[in-house]
Chain A
Amino acid sequence: MKYIKQFGIILAVTFAGEVLKYMIPLPVPASIYGLLLLFLLLTFRLVKLEQVKEAGLFLIEIMPLMFIPAAAGLVTSWTQIKGILASLCVMIPLNTCFVMIAAGKVTDYLIERRKKGHE
């Protein structure tokens, strides 16, 4: 019963996200609206943590599995990728590393600075 209710709440919020996506003409997916909505519901205690916790954490734990079908689907877009494959092979790794370093280092620096400011 507990899990039915928890999963039910998560699906209801997901559904509300789909409604928002339908109404707002922006390239923002239902999942992002749902995430923000659930965060607000938790913040304002309209939904309690215990009412979604286990089912939500279960879904998060098995999340890597959910990417396999889409990634295996890369076989179907092979003919289209082939054309710019060389530039992709350089670009994707470089870009991914740069972004990780920039976002991580800037956040690190600002956290350190705030801590020093407090001292």
Chain B
Amino acid sequence: MDIVIDIDASVPLFAQLIEQIKGAVLSDVVRPGDALPSIRQLANDLEVNNKTVAKAYRLLERDSVIQTRGYRGTFVHPDAKVNSTVDLNALVVTKLGEAIAALRASGATDSEIRIAFGDVMKHRGS
């Protein structure tokens, strides 16, 4: 299967990669246990930075769509098909939307929400 990315698209390159790899899993083009190209190979073939592919692979691994087996390479996760249907981004947007709506209903301004969000993120990150 071919991965096609558009460098001028508004969607970030790593997100395009994630989308297409998940698409390949869902359409059974790649099956659990199948090997995937290395980060270097994919990055050079697509003429993008290694870090872009590494980021896509890291997020796919977090979502249990792929798994890295040390020096042997990267493979499709046994539960990849089920996990490919879970869209964490959509979940984050939904939950955050609900929280913001609740805060607005309580009388908080957008500016206060933004500052509080930044503080919480900063605090969690440290």
Pairing of A with B: no
